[in-house]
């Protein structure tokens, strides 16, 4: 028999996870600030610096999700949650570099800019066709704006761009995780959340089936869906920061205890929320 949970229980979960996030940041803040300064002072856009930029954006997105859920604005929260997951997936792809791509962070930046420029020119050409002006010659414009790819063909440039397509990133990360005995259930849950949230970004008709009918009582499925959006960002953010600390220690001899602290905090958090229904039941009981 499916259980039901009050909105006050989910609100309490949102507050508790925010408190836990703040607490964890407090434990590592001095070292994380030091690491940030170290990475920012690197002249080149090497992979840890770029990955850290992405995860810093994840942190800001998480706090936006927290605020939106506090206001019971679930629709907007799902849009932001999808963006958070995408930033996370890109940071993981850059750090893990599953296909051992040379200069992966530089390529991510270059071909990301090119992809954005292509979209801009295509948009301009749509407008030009409406007002009767000549279209901009796309690939000539690309090679003029980005001389570093002037010797590449259209197909070569598109191939490089596609390497950072989110679907390609998901596929490559899934293959990497399977080959390195990492828990795939967590990753599958992230992908499920990502594709479900995509309909909110694009205004899909299916969104009405993924928003609770009641603002007071949530079904078991609705409550677990919301709890995932509340709790998963904690793991995405701090697991990635931990990975950045570990890589910084291995590559640059960056010393500190933050990676060990995060390992302990992530383990405690994982245990506390392992049985999600029991976690909600305890919150529900304590709120009565």
| Lookup result for tokens 């999808």 | 82
Which is it for the CA torsion 183, 184, 190, 192, positive or negative?
negative
If one compares 263 and 178, the residue with the highest pLDDT of the two is 263
Query: For position 233, what pLDDT does the model report?
Result: 95
Range with the lowest mean pLDDT among 53-67, 166-180, 251-265? 166-180
Rounded distance between C-alpha atoms, residue 209 and residue 226, angstroms: 14
- Tens-digit pLDDT profile for residues 16-53: 999 999 999 999 999 999 999 988 887 776 899 999 99
Q: For the whole model, what pTM was predicted?
A: 0.93
Q: What is the Rg, in whole angstroms, of the alpha carbon atoms belonging to the chain?
A: 22
92 by Cβ neighbours in 10 Å (0-12 / 13-18 / 19+) ranks as: buried
| Lookup result for tokens 């995405």 | 236
Dihedral of CA atoms 21, 81, 116, 241 in degrees, nearest 10, equals: 20
CB 234 within 8 A of CB 269: yes
Rounded distance between C-alpha atoms, residue 174 and residue 233, angstroms: 19
Query: For position 206, what pLDDT does the model report?
Result: 83
pLDDT range class, residue 174, cuts 50, 70, 90: confident
Structure-token pair, residue 215: 């603002």
Pick from 234, 274, 239, 225: nearest CA to 78: 225
């Amino acid at each position: 028999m499916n259980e039901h949970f009050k909105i006050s229980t989910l609100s309490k979960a949102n507050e508790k996870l925010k408190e836990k996030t703040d607490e964890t940041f407090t434990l590592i803040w001095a070292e994380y600030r030091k690491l940030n300064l170290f990475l920012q002072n690197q002249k080149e856009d090497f992979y840890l610096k770029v990955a850290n930029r992405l995860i810093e954006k994840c942190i800001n997105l998480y706090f936006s999700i927290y605020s939106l859920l506090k206001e019971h604005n679930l629709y907007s929260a799902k849009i932001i949650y999808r963006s958070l997951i995408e930033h996370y997936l890109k940071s993981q792809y850059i750090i893990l570099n599953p296909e051992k791509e040379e200069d992966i962070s530089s390529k991510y930046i270059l071909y990301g800019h090119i992809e954005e420029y292509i979209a801009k020119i295509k948009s301009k050409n749509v407008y030009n066709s409406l007002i009767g002006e000549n279209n901009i010659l796309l690939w000539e414009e690309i090679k003029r704006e980005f001389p570093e790819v002037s010797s590449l063909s259209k197909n070569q440039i598109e191939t490089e761009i596609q390497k950072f397509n989110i679907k390609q990133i998901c596929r490559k990360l899934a293959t990497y995780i399977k080959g390195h005995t990492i828990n795939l259930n967590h990753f599958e849950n992230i992908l499920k959340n990502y594709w479900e949230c995509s309909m909110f970004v694009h205004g899909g008709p299916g969104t009405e089936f993924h928003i609770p009918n009641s603002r007071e009582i949530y079904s078991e499925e609705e409550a677990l869906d919301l709890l995932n959006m509340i709790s998963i960002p904690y793991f995405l953010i701090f697991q990635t920061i931990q990975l950045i600390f570990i890589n910084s220690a291995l590559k640059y001899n960056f010393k500190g205890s933050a990676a060990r602290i995060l390992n302990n905090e992530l383990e405690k958090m994982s245990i506390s929320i392992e049985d999600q229904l029991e976690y909600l039941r305890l919150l529900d009981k304590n709120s009565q």
